[in-house]
Amino acid sequence: MAKTKKDIDLKEEQPKKGLFKKMFSGKTEQKKVFQIMKTKKNLNLYFYTDVNNILLILENGIRLLKDQKLNKTEEYIVWTYLENNNSIGLEFDSSTRAHFWKWASEAKVDVEKISVIGINAEKLARHCKKDWGLDTVGNLVYIYETIPVEAIDFIMIKDKANLKRIETFVEANDIDIDVFYGETGNIKQKEKEEK
């Protein structure tokens, strides 16, 4: 018996499309995501990760777990709320962040170690070959391939100890990403020094 769309766990597998849909409907779920973003006036999609993962992300993008290849000295902390073998979950906006913070609280995650990555959906769409998965109940968008560094708009960090290290890496590698310091849950842009 074939699985219906409702039977598919979007975290684990991308919805299958028949040949007709592939040819004529294109990236239908992606189009739905853009419509929701336009209606809600969302600017970015959000990914949450441990601050210790940021340098690996800046070097390689946000990779699927099955594609993570680490050296013996590297460590990547996985938060199963948004990271799975076959997908990367992104939240819509600040109104849906409550899901993540609830999960983080229940999982006893140190909030000082949480970094928020803002993904520019239009840039992401230009780089994606596969359609996205849309979970309207959980307000999540599932991406089934690496999210490239070029699609990242900003990184919000709550850990001052890592802030300077990440800012230095971004500047030294001439990466076009804003690095913010988040204090008390708000996102504040770190003032750039005048040259």
Lowest-confidence region among 76-85, 116-125, 170-179: 76-85
Mean pLDDT of the residues in the chain: 81
Of the pLDDT bands very low, low, confident and very high (cuts 50, 70, 90), residue 95 is: low
59 three-class SS: helix
Q: Which residue has the higher pLDDT, 77 or 132?
A: 132
What pLDDT shows up at residue 63?
94
Give pLDDT tens digits for 128-167. 999 999 998 888 999 999 999 999 999 999 888 899 999 9
* pLDDT for res 78: 84
Q: Tens of pLDDT along 102-123?
A: 777 787 878 788 898 999 999 9
> What is the structure's pLDDT at 68?
87
Q: With a threshold of 0.75, does the pTM exceed it?
A: yes
Q: Are 111 and 185 in contact (CB under 8 A)?
A: no
147-150 LR contacts (CB < 8 Å, sep 24+): 147/47, 147/61, 147/62, 147/88, 147/119, 148/61, 148/124, 149/57, 149/58, 149/59, 149/60, 149/61, 149/175, 149/177, 150/123
Nearest to 121 by CA among 100, 99, 94, 93: 93
Judged against a pLDDT cut of 50, whether residue 4 lies above it is answered with no
Give the per-residue pLDDT at 98: 66
pLDDT of residue 93 exceeding 70:
no
Band the pLDDT of 34: cuts 50, 70, 90. Answer: very high
pLDDT at position 188 is 46
Q: What is the 3-state secondary structure (H, E, C) of 76-112?
A: CCCCCCCECCCCEEEECCHHHHHHHHHHHHHCCCCHH
The residue-averaged pLDDT of 63-84 equals 86
